[in-house]
């Protein structure tokens, strides 16, 4: 007889419980109370490296691995910054970017279509020492990869259209860098550390504009030669296939690169040096501290890597823990080691609040000294080694990672078993060997210290730590007196004032986002400036009416607006050398109330009159004016410096104009104004922090 389903379920449950009870351990069974000891770190297991020199002199290293149907490649040529002619800094990066933008019989679009159709990628880049072409393809498209590589290095087209596009992109990137304190600090640090050595040079707008198609062609023909180059291939391909494909697609590419240029050794430093990069209005200070180290093959390099990990190699390191977690001075503080083929460097960085700049620098230097003066505790040492050892397998997972790692080893002249013994060498670092390496690689007593910040607020504090040299973000020398520019009465040629209306297109990071209209009209007592701006579909709105006397000196300001639905306004009157009123203005913390009762130096202008006032100043190459400027958002008048940094051909919707590039400093962020060189002088373009642009529409 069939049992009811409830009885069947009960029986099954009883059987299951019986089985569990039977398998349960005895009450007195013993379990481990701690994990087993870690096994000794073993050498990494990588496929053997097969090396060969092709008939054209190109050195080939193959890391054969048929696990995945992918082939990765990295072609490395001695054509980095080290080999750039003076005055043409940036040519190696431009050449690298253009090699794949039209080569052989293919246009830039056809090169992109070919490599994408092969399920792969192809790109060029340059660093201090090398220009590299890197990419990957599906294994059955390896022949195409060789064909594209051969065309790129031997038969690049350097089309005018692509040169102009890349030049524009490079100049935009440089402008953005010049507005970012971290980028400014890195540039000044490199120049101070390496001096006139090529490692210390960086592209500038002037050098990028100076690079011609003929320069690029000459650089390719003299530097991009197979002898002295290295091609690393990793993945699903054999050496026989590589030989055959190279014979077919690289055989016509021959020759030696030009003789290496002569250059001196980087400067030595006997004592610490502080370089203050004055960036008026900065609300934080960017600190970089560092020194030259050694070449990549130095025997202490593994101990130095562990020392760096202990000091600032992540969010679990000392600098992050002390400067951020314990002191609350920064969002992050880190350190790193750079290992070019020549002399490398160590640096430690932090971005801190202006008011704690000196405290943060003192603490940072103390931590650098501590690394060489005190043995690292065992737990801290093991954690640092474990992190470096543990992450290594993740850096050689893919064929492209293997190709890049092998290329680094071969171009730096490192031992053949460098990758295989990488983990065992790290795990063998002891506290004494780390301390010895730290004393040699991290030298605060000879450090270059670069601080980018508001010199008016931090110079005196830095001078209490050591001698300070002051420079502009462009590296030009400054004096202490220059930190406090004094405005003088502006000589505006008001005879050129005339009623008019200018419309501007507003772009944010290159994308059209709105419009501004400025209007200048006469009234019985002088002039009326009206402005109407709408950005992002009305998320930001502003309407301004500024009344001035006949010389554009302000009489009354009325401003209304909205920022993301919240009202902003300003109502200010100007009389008797004072500004009085109130404002509600945007800030990083939201809308803030500003009570206005400020003294106005003679000749003060309101910042809303800039569009019409700036063209009235006397401009010429190198001209510089310091103007007292009132801002309702701040409630005070501040001296703003306007300086001509060159002339440019500027294309805006209203046309193409030769214009002075006039850079403003002294405010919260850098602003560049472009005023036509020819009369009648007009403001045709404004760029704010290299992010927001206003371009004259009509």
Sign of CA dihedral 396, 399, 405, 406: positive
**What's CA 455's distance to the chain center, in Å?**
23
Measure the CA angle with vertex 601, ends 597 and 607; round to 5°: 75
Give the tens place of pLDDT for each residue, 273-304: 999 999 887 889 999 999 999 999 999 999 99
| Per-residue exposure over 566-597, b if at least 16 CB sit within 10 Å of its own CB, e if not | eebbbbbebeeeebebebbbeeeeeeeebebe
Mean pLDDT confidence for 655-671: 87
Q: Say which residue the tokens 């010429």 belong to.
A: 620
Sign of CA dihedral 449, 451, 456, 461: negative
Can you give the pLDDT at residue 396?
A: 94
Name every residue whose Cβ is closer than 8 Å to that of residue 369 and which is 6 or more positions away in sequence.
444
634 or 346, greater pLDDT:
346
CA dist., res. 301 & res. 298, Å (int): 6
Query: Which among 346, 245, 258 has a CA at the least distance from the CA of 301?
Result: 346
pLDDT in tens, 171-216: 888 877 887 899 999 999 999 999 999 999 999 989 999 999 999 9
Contact call for residues 132 and 76 (beta carbons, < 8 A): yes
Rounded to whole angstroms, the Cα distance separating 311 from 300 reads: 16
How many C-beta atoms lie closer than 10 Å to residue 87's C-beta? 13
Find out whether 70 and 78 touch, Cβ atoms under 8 Å: no
Determine contact, residues 460/266, Cβ cutoff 8 Å.
Answer: no
| Helical (H) or strand (E) element with 16 | helix 5-23
* 572 DSSP β-pair partners: 557, 581
Cis amide bond preceding 664, omega within 30: no
- Any bridge partners for residue 571, and if so which? 558, 582
How much of the chain exceeds pLDDT 90, in percent? 79
Q: What are phi and psi of 670, to 5 degrees?
A: -70, 140
Mean pLDDT of all residues in the chain?
91
**Residue 2: is it exposed, middle or buried by C-beta count within 10 angstroms (0-12/13-18/19+)?**
exposed
Kindly indicate the confidence band of residue 14, based on its pLDDT and cuts at 50, 70 and 90.
very low
3-state secondary structure of 137: strand
Report the run of H or E that residue 220 belongs to, with start and end.
Answer: helix 213-223
pLDDT in tens, 582-631: 999 887 667 889 999 999 988 899 999 988 999 999 999 999 999 999 99
Q: Give the tokens for residue 412.
A: 């730096």
Please tell me the predicted confidence (pLDDT) of residue 4.
45
Token couple for 172:
């935009």
Q: Which of 224, 114, 204, 113 is CA-nearest to residue 158?
A: 224
As a whole number of angstroms, the distance between CA 305 and CA 308 comes to 5
Mean pLDDT of all residues in 29-47? 78
- Strand order of the sheet with strand 131-138? 49-53, 59-64, 230-235, 70-77, 131-138, 121-126
Token look-up 């930190």 returns 483
Q: For 83-131, what is each residue's pLDDT tens digit?
A: 999 999 999 999 999 999 999 999 999 999 999 999 999 999 999 999 9
């Amino acid at each position: 007889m069939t049992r009811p389903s409830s009885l069947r379920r009960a029986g099954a449950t009883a059987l299951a419980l019986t089985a569990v009870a039977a398998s349960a351990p005895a009450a007195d069974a013993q379990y481990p109370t701690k994990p087993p000891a870690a096994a000794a770190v073993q050498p990494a297991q990588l496929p053997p490296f097969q090396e060969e020199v092709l008939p054209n002199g190109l050195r080939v290293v193959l890391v054969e691995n048929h696990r995945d149907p992918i082939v990765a490649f990295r072609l490395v040529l001695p054509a980095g910054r080290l080999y750039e002619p003076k005055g043409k800094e940036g040519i190696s990066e431009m050449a690298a970017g253009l090699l794949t933008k039209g080569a052989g019989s293919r246009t830039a679009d056809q090169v992109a279509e070919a490599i994408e159709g092969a399920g792969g990628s192809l790109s060029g880049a340059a660093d201090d020492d090398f220009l590299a072409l890197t990419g990957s393809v599906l294994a059955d498209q390896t022949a195409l990869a060789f064909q594209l590589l051969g065309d790129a290095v031997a038969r690049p087209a350097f089309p005018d259209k692509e040169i102009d596009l890349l030049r524009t992109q490079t100049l935009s990137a440089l402008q953005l860098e010049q507005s970012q304190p971290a980028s400014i600090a890195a540039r000044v640090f490199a120049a101070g550390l390496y001096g006139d050595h090529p490692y210390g040079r960086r592209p500038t707008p002037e050098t990028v504009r100076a690079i011609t198609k003929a320069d690029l062609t000459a650089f390719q023909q003299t530097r991009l030669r197979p002898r002295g180059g290295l091609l690393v291939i990793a993945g699903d391909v054999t050496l026989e296939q590589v030989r055959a494909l190279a014979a077919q697609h690289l055989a016509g590419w021959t020759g030696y690169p030009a003789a290496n240029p002569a250059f001196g050794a980087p400067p030595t430093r006997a004592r610490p040096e502080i370089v203050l990069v004055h960036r008026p209005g900065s609300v934080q200070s960017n600190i970089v501290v560092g020194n030259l180290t050694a070449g990549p093959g130095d025997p202490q390099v593994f101990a130095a890597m562990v020392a760096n990990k202990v000091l600032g190699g992540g969010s679990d390191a000392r600098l992050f823990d002390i400067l951020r977690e314990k002191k609350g001075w920064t969002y992050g503080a880190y350190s790193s080691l750079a290992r070019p083929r020549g002399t490398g460097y160590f640096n430690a960085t932090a971005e801190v609040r202006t008011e704690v700049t000196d405290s943060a620098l003192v603490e940072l230097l103390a931590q650098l000294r501590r690394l060489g003066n005190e043995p690292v505790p065992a737990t801290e040492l093991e954690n640092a080694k474990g992190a470096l050892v543990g992450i290594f397998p993740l850096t050689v997972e893919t064929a492209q990672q293997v190709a890049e790692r092998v290329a680094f080893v071969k171009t730096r002249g490192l031992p053949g078993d460098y990758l295989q013994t990488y983990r065992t060498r790290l795990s063998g670092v002891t506290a004494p060997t780390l301390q010895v390496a730290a004393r040699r690689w991290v030298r605060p007593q000879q450090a270059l210290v670069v601080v980018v910040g508001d010199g008016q607020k931090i110079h005196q504090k830095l001078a209490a730590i050591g001698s300070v040299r002051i420079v502009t973000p462009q590296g030009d020398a400054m004096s202490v007196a220059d930190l406090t520019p004094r405005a003088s009465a502006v000589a505006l040629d008001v005879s050129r004032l005339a009623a008019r209306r200018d419309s501007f297109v507003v772009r944010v990071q290159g994308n059209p986002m709105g419009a501004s209209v400025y209007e200048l009209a006469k009234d019985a007592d002088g002039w009326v400036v009206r402005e109407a701006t709408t950005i992002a579909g009305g998320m930001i709105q502003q309407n301004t009416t500024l009344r001035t006397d006949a010389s554009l000196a302000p009489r009354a300001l009325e401003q209304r607006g909205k920022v993301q639905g919240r009202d902003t306004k300003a109502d200010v009157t100007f009389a008797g050398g004072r500004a009085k009123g109130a404002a509600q203005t945007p800030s990083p913390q939201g809308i803030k109330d500003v009570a206005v009762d400020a003294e106005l130096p003679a000749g003060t202008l309101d910042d809303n009159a800039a569009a019409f006032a700036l063209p009235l100043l006397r401009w010429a190459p190198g001209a510089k004016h310091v103007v007292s400027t009132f801002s309702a958002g701040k409630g005070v008048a501040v001296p703003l410096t306007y300086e001509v940094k060159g002339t440019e051909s500027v294309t805006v919707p209203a046309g193409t104009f030769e214009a002075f590039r006039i850079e403003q400093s002294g405010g919260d962020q850098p602003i560049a104004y472009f005023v036509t060189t020819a009369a009648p002088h007009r403001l045709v373009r404004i760029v704010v922090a290299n992010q927001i642009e206003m371009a004259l529409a009509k």
